[in-house]
Amino acid sequence: MKPFTLALAAAALLSTPALAALKAGDKAPDFVAPGFQAGKALTFSMAEARRKGPVVLYFFPAADTAGCNLEAKMFADAMPQFAANGATVIGVTAGKLDKLQQISADADKCSGKFPVAADPGAKIARQYDAVMAARPDWSDRTSYVISPKGEVLHSYSKLDPTEHVAQTLGAVKAFKAKR
């Protein structure tokens, strides 16, 4: 293969997101993970969060990168809308775990408004089929909305971070409207 063709193939592979295997109606795995909110350490439990209402679980590739920072800021800015609809938001990553405490409190990122959890070895991401094809030790950019009963209500997988908030907020509002 010519170097240019090889470079194009590699770029295509890196830019192609994995399709979320968990679909609406599937059982969402419960997990417990260490994380941070507003710079403070915490332990996040999916089962406990679901007791409060729907959970928006979004996987992101690596903390403190351009796309992930944008996505975190967009989720932080939308937190009043998620809260008004009874939803909990949690970000999970398998990449750059040493940056989580910092971004959890940073006003240009999470702003302390929701927790971010560490997923060493992408164990949680694998359960949700949210690993990056080109880097299986990193999370893909995949978002889920999970019902209080543990059922996947909505999944969205795309490397571009700009639609994840709209996709998940729309699903949360639709869930609330049905109740």
pLDDT of residue 95: 87
pLDDT of residue 113: 97
**Which amino acid is present at 11?**
A
Q: For the chain (length 179 residues), average pLDDT per consecutive 10?
A: 40 43 93 97 97 97 94 97 98 92 94 96 96 91 97 96 97 94
Residue 32 phi, psi dihedral angles, 5° rounding: -125, 135
pLDDT of residue 170: 97
CB atoms closer than 10 angstroms to residue 49: 21
pLDDT of residue 6: 36
pLDDT of residue 17: 44
CA distance 139 to 54: 22
pLDDT of residue 152: 98
- DSSP code per residue over 56-113: EEEE-S-TTSHHHHHHHHHHHHHHHHHHHTT-EEEEEESS-GGGHHHHHH-TTTTTTS
Ramachandran region, residue 111 (left: φ > 0; alpha: ψ -120 to 50; beta: rest): left
Residues 6+ positions from 120 with CB-CB distance below 8 Å: 94, 97
